[in-house]
């Protein structure tokens, strides 16, 4: 007897077609269901491919959390994004940070060393006086926080993409939506 078919592998862990279908079904029952493509269409197949991306990125984070000893019974915080922040962070990365509680613990560990030199904070302030009319010393903490967050987001996204590329194998029919090898590839970066 064989088990469920794999849509992808993350290291030795299989992400099954059943897991993919369960997530798609949950989305179709959720508050954004009316915005999703009709089943059986090319866009619906690409939705399924996007869900595989999300599930594999979640598995990469879960594996990293286990390796780092971050899997505990304690709840972890989630990150909230507006559309602009999600787009600048990267859609799948933002989705994982927003939906998978342990992802922020991994994010914190991976980005703990990220700093922004005071000269960059000052240069940003000088270039953006229209956005920061307050004196530099008053504006500095918020600017430093914003620049550090942006640098940390970039660092984490690159780390996650690299880790994903090194550990994930996507099976036929579950390729990235932009992969030109499948007929439904309309998504472009």
Percent of the chain with pLDDT over 70: 84
pTM: 0.84
- How far apart are alpha carbons 32 and 51 in whole angstroms? 15
For the chain, give every domain's residue range: 6-170
pLDDT at residue 101, rounded to an integer: 83
pLDDT digits (tens, 9 = 90+) for 133-147: 999 999 999 999 999
83 vs 74, more confident: 83
96 φψ region: left (φ > 0), alpha (ψ -120 to 50), beta (else)? alpha
Residue 111's contacts (CB-CB under 8 Å, 6 or more residues apart) are 152, 155, 156
Mean pLDDT is lowest, of 22-26, 87-91, 123-127, for 87-91
CATH, range 6-170 = 1.10.4030
Angle at Cα 127 formed by Cα 125 and Cα 130, nearest 5°?
Answer: 80
pLDDT at 75 exceeding the cut of 90? no
Mean pLDDT confidence for 103-123: 95
Mean pLDDT is lowest, of 106-110, 162-166, 170-174, 182-186, for 182-186
pLDDT digits (tens, 9 = 90+) for 10-32: 999 999 999 999 999 999 999 98
Confirm if 16 and 5 have CB atoms less than 8 A apart: yes
pLDDT at 185 exceeding the cut of 70? no
pLDDT at 183 exceeding the cut of 80? no
pLDDT at residue 86, rounded to an integer: 59
Q: Judging by DSSP bridges, how do beta strands 13-16 and 6-10 pair with one another?
A: antiparallel
pLDDT at residue 187, rounded to an integer: 52
């Amino acid at each position: 007897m064989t088990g469920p078919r794999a849509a992808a592998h993350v290291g030795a862990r299989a992400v099954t077609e059943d897991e993919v279908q369960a997530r798609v079904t949950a989305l179709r029952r959720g508050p954004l269901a009316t915005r999703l493509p009709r089943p059986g269409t090319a866009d619906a197949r690409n939705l399924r491919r996007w869900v595989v991306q999300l599930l594999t990125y979640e598995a990469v984070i879960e594996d990293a959390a286990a390796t780092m000893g971050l899997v505990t019974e304690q709840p972890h915080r989630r990150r909230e994004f507006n559309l602009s922040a999600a787009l600048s962070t990267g859609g799948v990365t933002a989705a994982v940070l927003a939906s998978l509680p342990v992802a922020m613990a991994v994010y914190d560990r991976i980005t703990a060393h990220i700093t922004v030199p005071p000269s960059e904070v000052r240069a940003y302030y000088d270039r953006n006086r229209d956005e920061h009319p307050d004196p530099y010393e008053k504006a500095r903490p918020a600017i430093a926080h914003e620049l550090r967050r942006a640098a940390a987001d970039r660092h984490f996204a690159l780390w996650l993409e690299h880790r994903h590329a090194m550990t994930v194998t996507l099976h036929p029919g579950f390729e990235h939506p932009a992969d030109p090898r499948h007929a439904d590839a309309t998504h472009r970066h």
